[in-house]
Amino acid sequence: MLPIVRGIGGNVVSQTVTLSTAARLSDDEKLEVLRLLDQFRQWHSLDEKRYCLVCGKLITGRQIQVAGGTRGNGPVRLNCPTQSCNSIAMDWVLPTDEILARVEKLAEEERKASALQAALPPAAANGNGKTVHSDKGHEHFVSRLRKLAFHLKRHA
């Protein structure tokens, strides 16, 4: 059992939570842990969203990972659910209209890039491990650039 303690108006409120690295909490327990451990913002629901300043993703209380606890795993902590993001509660802000517009713009750019990538002909690797594009127009353009660079270098 791990005690989580916070002071409210001079009174000490204590609750005991048992966690391991891969903790499974009920919705009520997780919401209580968010409320106790996120000292920067209030949580009214697990469906509330926060914007992670580190990875740039919108996350919900349901997605936030709760780790740590007993058995030598250290204190209970909150982590961003995005893979390879090490942010904590202080890195999460309430999403403003500006942030939501930015997130939507980035998502649209990712969709366009994915569609463009899917439309490109597949690349093949040559014997040297380098990627060779089968796009003849691209090869023609690169060839012309090389000729121009050689011409400019010769006259410099």
DSSP output for 73-126: S-S-EEE-SSTT----GGGEEPPPHHHHHHHHHHHHHHHHHHHHHHHSPPEEE-
Kindly indicate the confidence band of residue 24, based on its pLDDT and cuts at 50, 70 and 90: confident
CA distances from 41 to 93, 99, 102 (A): 8, 17, 21
- In whole angstroms, what is the distance from residue 18 CA to residue 2 CA? 5
**Model confidence over 95-125: pLDDT tens digits?**
999 988 888 888 899 898 888 888 776 665 5
Which residue did the predictor score with more confidence, 74 or 122? 74
Q: Which residues neighbour 80 within 8 Å (Cβ) at sequence distance 6 or greater?
A: 52, 54, 55, 57, 59, 64, 65, 86, 87, 88, 91, 92
Specify the 3-state DSSP secondary structure of 148. Answer: helix
**Model confidence over 29-73: pLDDT tens digits?**
999 999 999 999 999 999 999 999 999 899 999 999 998 876 646
- In whole angstroms, what is the distance from residue 25 CA to residue 9 CA? 28
pLDDT at 106: 85
Give first-to-last CA distance, the chain, whole Å. 76
Q: Give CA angle at 19 (89, 75), nearest 5°.
A: 50
